[in-house]
Protein backbone atom coordinates (compact mmCIF):
# COMPACT_ATOMS: atom_id res chain seq x y z
CA UNK A 1 0.00 0.00 0.00
CA UNK A 2 1.28 3.42 -0.89
CA UNK A 3 1.03 6.06 1.84
CA UNK A 4 0.84 9.57 0.62
CA UNK A 5 2.66 12.13 2.81
CA UNK A 6 1.22 15.57 2.61
CA UNK A 7 3.60 18.48 2.98
CA UNK A 8 2.91 20.90 5.81
CA UNK A 9 1.77 24.29 4.56
CA UNK A 10 4.50 26.93 4.47
CA UNK A 11 2.58 29.11 6.94
CA UNK A 12 2.54 26.29 9.53
CA UNK A 13 6.27 25.71 9.17
CA UNK A 14 6.92 29.41 9.60
CA UNK A 15 4.83 29.47 12.77
CA UNK A 16 6.63 26.44 14.23
CA UNK A 17 10.05 27.90 13.48
CA UNK A 18 9.08 31.24 14.98
CA UNK A 19 7.82 29.56 18.16
CA UNK A 20 11.00 27.49 18.47
CA UNK A 21 13.22 30.54 17.95
CA UNK A 22 11.27 32.55 20.53
CA UNK A 23 11.61 29.74 23.08
CA UNK A 24 15.37 29.54 22.53
CA UNK A 25 15.73 33.30 22.94
CA UNK A 26 13.69 33.32 26.15
CA UNK A 27 15.70 30.48 27.67
CA UNK A 28 18.94 32.23 26.73
CA UNK A 29 17.79 35.48 28.29
CA UNK A 30 16.79 33.69 31.49
CA UNK A 31 20.19 32.06 31.75
CA UNK A 32 21.97 35.32 31.08
CA UNK A 33 20.09 37.18 33.83
CA UNK A 34 20.13 34.41 36.39
CA UNK A 35 21.76 35.25 39.72
CA UNK A 36 25.47 34.39 39.72
CA UNK A 37 26.82 31.68 41.98
CA UNK A 38 28.24 34.26 44.41
CA UNK A 39 24.84 35.92 44.92
CA UNK A 40 24.03 33.82 47.97
CA UNK A 41 23.32 35.89 51.05
CA UNK A 42 25.96 36.08 53.76
CA UNK A 43 25.23 34.96 57.32
CA UNK A 44 24.92 37.52 60.09
CA UNK A 45 28.45 38.71 60.83
CA UNK A 46 30.11 37.49 64.00
CA UNK A 47 32.01 39.84 66.29
CA UNK A 48 35.55 40.39 65.03
CA UNK A 49 37.28 42.90 67.29
CA UNK A 50 40.35 44.84 66.26
CA UNK A 51 43.46 42.69 66.64
CA UNK A 52 46.23 44.70 65.02
CA UNK A 53 47.17 48.28 64.36
CA UNK A 54 46.24 48.95 60.73
CA UNK A 55 44.33 52.25 60.66
CA UNK A 56 44.53 52.92 56.94
CA UNK A 57 40.93 52.92 55.62
CA UNK A 58 40.10 49.64 53.94
CA UNK A 59 38.43 49.57 50.53
CA UNK A 60 34.99 48.42 51.66
CA UNK A 61 34.85 50.94 54.51
CA UNK A 62 35.99 53.71 52.18
CA UNK A 63 33.29 52.84 49.65
CA UNK A 64 30.57 52.58 52.30
CA UNK A 65 31.49 55.98 53.78
CA UNK A 66 30.96 57.65 50.42
CA UNK A 67 27.89 55.61 49.57
CA UNK A 68 26.10 56.68 52.78
CA UNK A 69 26.55 60.36 52.00
CA UNK A 70 25.63 59.99 48.34
CA UNK A 71 22.47 58.05 49.10
CA UNK A 72 21.19 59.67 52.29
CA UNK A 73 23.11 62.90 52.89
CA UNK A 74 24.88 63.86 56.09
CA UNK A 75 28.66 64.06 56.08
CA UNK A 76 31.62 61.74 56.11
CA UNK A 77 33.37 61.16 59.40
CA UNK A 78 36.48 59.21 60.26
CA UNK A 79 37.31 55.65 59.27
CA UNK A 80 40.80 55.02 60.61
CA UNK A 81 42.11 56.20 63.97
CA UNK A 82 45.44 56.30 65.77
CA UNK A 83 46.13 53.08 67.64
CA UNK A 84 45.82 53.02 71.43
CA UNK A 85 45.39 50.39 74.13
CA UNK A 86 41.63 50.40 73.55
CA UNK A 87 39.87 48.05 71.13
CA UNK A 88 38.24 49.71 68.13
CA UNK A 89 37.64 48.68 64.53
CA UNK A 90 38.68 52.24 63.62
CA UNK A 91 42.21 51.09 64.44
CA UNK A 92 41.89 48.46 61.72
CA UNK A 93 40.40 50.91 59.22
CA UNK A 94 37.06 49.12 59.02
CA UNK A 95 34.68 51.30 61.04
CA UNK A 96 32.77 54.16 59.46
CA UNK A 97 31.56 57.26 61.28
CA UNK A 98 28.72 58.95 59.40
CA UNK A 99 27.98 62.45 60.71
CA UNK A 100 24.35 63.12 61.59
CA UNK A 101 22.76 65.10 64.40
CA UNK A 102 20.16 63.25 66.49
CA UNK A 103 18.75 66.57 67.73
CA UNK A 104 17.59 67.52 64.22
CA UNK A 105 14.64 66.19 62.25
CA UNK A 106 16.76 65.85 59.11
CA UNK A 107 19.45 63.87 60.91
CA UNK A 108 16.98 61.48 62.48
CA UNK A 109 15.18 61.01 59.17
CA UNK A 110 18.39 60.13 57.32
CA UNK A 111 19.42 57.49 59.83
CA UNK A 112 15.91 56.10 60.04
CA UNK A 113 15.88 55.63 56.27
CA UNK A 114 19.29 53.93 56.35
CA UNK A 115 18.27 51.51 59.11
CA UNK A 116 14.99 50.74 57.36
CA UNK A 117 16.80 49.95 54.12
CA UNK A 118 19.66 47.82 55.44
CA UNK A 119 17.55 45.89 57.95
CA UNK A 120 14.67 45.16 55.57
CA UNK A 121 13.89 41.70 54.24
CA UNK A 122 14.84 40.94 50.66
CA UNK A 123 12.58 39.42 47.98
CA UNK A 124 13.10 36.01 49.61
CA UNK A 125 12.00 37.28 53.03
CA UNK A 126 15.54 37.07 54.43
CA UNK A 127 16.00 39.61 57.24
CA UNK A 128 18.60 42.41 57.25
CA UNK A 129 19.66 41.38 53.76
CA UNK A 130 21.61 44.50 52.79
CA UNK A 131 23.34 44.77 56.18
CA UNK A 132 24.50 41.18 55.77
CA UNK A 133 25.69 41.84 52.23
CA UNK A 134 27.63 44.86 53.50
CA UNK A 135 29.29 42.84 56.23
CA UNK A 136 27.95 45.07 59.00
CA UNK A 137 28.82 43.78 62.49
CA UNK A 138 27.01 46.48 64.42
CA UNK A 139 25.60 50.00 64.27
CA UNK A 140 25.57 52.51 67.14
CA UNK A 141 23.37 55.60 67.06
CA UNK A 142 21.56 57.76 69.60
CA UNK A 143 22.06 55.54 72.70
CA UNK A 144 21.18 52.33 70.87
CA UNK A 145 23.10 49.49 69.27
CA UNK A 146 22.09 47.07 66.51
CA UNK A 147 24.29 43.94 66.52
CA UNK A 148 24.47 41.28 63.81
CA UNK A 149 24.92 38.52 66.39
CA UNK A 150 21.56 39.56 67.87
CA UNK A 151 20.01 39.77 64.38
CA UNK A 152 20.12 43.56 64.62
CA UNK A 153 17.53 43.87 67.37
CA UNK A 154 18.06 47.33 68.93
CA UNK A 155 19.39 47.45 72.47
CA UNK A 156 20.28 50.30 74.85
CA UNK A 157 23.89 51.40 74.51
CA UNK A 158 26.20 53.03 77.04
CA UNK A 159 29.83 53.70 76.19
CA UNK A 160 32.35 51.96 78.42
CA UNK A 161 33.86 55.42 78.97
CA UNK A 162 30.67 56.59 80.70
CA UNK A 163 29.39 55.57 84.11
CA UNK A 164 26.02 57.20 83.56
CA UNK A 165 24.18 58.24 80.43
CA UNK A 166 23.55 61.79 81.56
CA UNK A 167 27.28 62.34 82.09
CA UNK A 168 28.14 61.02 78.63
CA UNK A 169 29.10 63.44 75.87
CA UNK A 170 27.09 63.78 72.69
CA UNK A 171 29.85 62.01 70.78
CA UNK A 172 30.17 59.08 73.20
CA UNK A 173 26.39 58.70 73.05
CA UNK A 174 26.64 58.66 69.25
CA UNK A 175 24.16 61.48 68.92
CA UNK A 176 26.33 63.41 66.46
CA UNK A 177 27.31 60.46 64.29
CA UNK A 178 26.42 56.91 63.35
CA UNK A 179 29.11 54.30 63.97
CA UNK A 180 29.13 51.35 61.55
CA UNK A 181 31.62 48.55 62.25
CA UNK A 182 32.35 46.06 59.48
CA UNK A 183 33.60 42.51 59.53
CA UNK A 184 37.05 42.01 58.01
CA UNK A 185 35.53 40.77 54.76
CA UNK A 186 33.17 43.74 54.70
CA UNK A 187 36.00 46.11 55.53
CA UNK A 188 38.02 44.86 52.59
CA UNK A 189 34.97 44.90 50.29
CA UNK A 190 34.84 41.12 49.94
CA UNK A 191 31.15 40.62 50.61
CA UNK A 192 28.48 40.63 47.91
CA UNK A 193 27.40 44.28 48.33
CA UNK A 194 30.77 45.45 47.02
CA UNK A 195 30.94 43.16 43.97
CA UNK A 196 31.83 45.30 40.97
CA UNK A 197 32.23 48.38 43.17
CA UNK A 198 35.49 47.72 44.99
CA UNK A 199 38.69 46.38 43.50
CA UNK A 200 39.68 43.16 45.25
CA UNK A 201 43.15 43.35 46.74
CA UNK A 202 45.17 41.07 48.95
CA UNK A 203 45.53 42.03 52.62
The predicted pLDDT at position 10 comes to 58
The predicted pLDDT at position 36 comes to 44
The predicted pLDDT at position 147 comes to 98
For residue 32, being part of any structural domain is answered with no
For residue 105, being part of any structural domain is answered with yes
Q: What are 28-56's pLDDT values in tens digits?
A: 444 443 344 345 899 999 999 999 999 99
The predicted pLDDT at position 199 comes to 77
The predicted pLDDT at position 81 comes to 96
The predicted pLDDT at position 127 comes to 98
pTM of this prediction exceeds 0.75: yes
For residue 21, being part of any structural domain is answered with no
Q: How many domains does the chain have?
A: 1
For residue 203, being part of any structural domain is answered with no
Residues in the chain predicted with pLDDT less than 70, given as ranges, are 1-39, 200-203
The predicted pLDDT at position 37 comes to 38
For residue 28, being part of any structural domain is answered with no
For residue 52, being part of any structural domain is answered with no
For residue 16, being part of any structural domain is answered with no
The predicted pLDDT at position 24 comes to 45
Contact (CB, 8 A) for 191 and 110: no
| Domain enclosing residue 143, as ranges | 59-194
The predicted pLDDT at position 15 comes to 58
For residue 89, being part of any structural domain is answered with yes
Amino acid sequence: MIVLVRRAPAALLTTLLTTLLTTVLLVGAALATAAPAHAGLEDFASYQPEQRCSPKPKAGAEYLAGWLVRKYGGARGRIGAACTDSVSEHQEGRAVDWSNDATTKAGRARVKAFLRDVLAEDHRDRPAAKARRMGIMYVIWDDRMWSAWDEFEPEPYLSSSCKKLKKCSKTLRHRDHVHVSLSRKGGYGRTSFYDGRVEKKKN
